[in-house]
Amino acid sequence: MGAPSLTVLWDPRFREYDLGPDHPFNERSRALAVRLFEATAPAGADIDWVRSVSPAPRETLEEFHGSEYIDFIGRAGGYENPILLDAGDTPSFPGCFEEAARIVEGADRGLAIALEAGRPAFHPAGGLHHARPDRASGFCIFNDVAVAIARVVRQGRRVAYLDIDAHHGDGVMYGFYDSGRVLDIDVHQDGRTLFPGTGFPSETGRADGEGLKVNLPLPPLTGDEALVPLFRRVVPPLLREFRPELIVLQHGVDGHLGDALANLQYSPAAYAEVDRLILGLAKELTGGRLLVTGGGGYRASAVSRVLARTGWLLAGLSPPSDGTELPDAWRAEYLETIGEEAPRSWADSEPPTGSRWNSEHEEKLVRELEERLGRRFPKPGSS
């Protein structure tokens, strides 16, 4: 057998990052994604599984987080009863320090493996992109992606960070706002309509980072018709010009149609299209060095199937067709975990409704980016 095509980092203890029975965030749907990928990937697929991940040591957390904040989380993790770690969205839980630090270690190891081995790494439990150096935010205690990026940036490397979560990845963007070594491209639901209320085209970076932070806000109800053409138009030229050594993709699935917290309407096909595009760019520009993390996602049927399919694509496999039935054992596990009937097949056809996005909206957003960034984004295929 040759070298594996993909490394997947999944320690079952990632499920312990659970903000409580009445809170929307837990790792259950991402666990189901991993189980579905495992249950369906062809036996011959050469996948390297990292199934044991220790909590990141303090010096790793300090790549991004402040010492006092790390101490505060350490104390909070010892309390039996939850306290709020931010203004209201992110409660502590017993052991939260270890479990948040374990997710950080997954990203840090994943990025190191991708860098060393020249292949993609997949960390479905990661992508906690809201946490700031000195505070929790938006269900995120430690910012696993920012910690991993900070380490390789300190080594002098250039990283492209792409974020397709429905929420703007503010913790990462502001964390590297001045950095000339981090290109940050973030497509999300307009901050005037969704947490965290940031991520506008006017936010382009500062100092060495000027022109390297690129925000694509979309109005509620938009879907594939906006995401895919914008991605094709804006992402490849920026990456080719920046020439990253590594690509990190925060692959939140809360932009999916029917998500409980956001109002976008992406389809499974659009996610697959983005995955293929990023894989192609990683092959072209970084020798395959790519870390893909999970992120938000509050509709288990969408998160589990979309991220399992991402696993197939990252491993270089042709994923099953939409109508292919899902294994009964997995469906039983889904029912037990989520308490709802599992989907029957890989993707169902749910038509989006109400999007008003058209080519004029695309032109308007692209023109604003062009003015802010001082460069052009011709439509692919035109000049």
Binding site for Zn ion (CB under 5 A): 165-167, 252, 254, 296
d(CA 97, CA 78): 8
d(CA 334, CA 329): 9
b/e sequence 209-223, b meaning 16+ C-beta within 10 Å: bebbbbbbbbbbbbb
The secondary structure of residue 171, as a DSSP letter, is H
Between 166 and 238, CB nearer to Zn ion? 166
Between 150 and 264, CB nearer to Zn ion? 264
Report whether the peptide linkage leading into residue 196 is cis, meaning its omega lies within 30 degrees of zero. yes
Between 165 and 190, CB nearer to Zn ion? 165
Bridge partners (DSSP) of residue 213 are 184
> Nearest to Zn ion by Cβ — which residue?
296
CB of 65 to Zn ion, least distance (A): 20
CB of 112 to Zn ion, least distance (A): 26
Whether 130 is catalytic is: yes
b/e sequence 51-64, b meaning 16+ C-beta within 10 Å: eebebbeeebbbbb
CB of 29 to Zn ion, least distance (A): 13
Q: Which two tokens stand for residue 51?
A: 């199934």
Between 131 and 166, CB nearer to Zn ion? 166
Between 252 and 294, CB nearer to Zn ion? 252
Q: Which two tokens stand for residue 247?
A: 């690509």
Among 65, 129, 130, 251, the active-site one is: 130
Q: What is the dihedral of CA 324, 329, 330, 333, to 10 degrees?
A: 150
Q: List residues with catalytic annotation.
A: 130
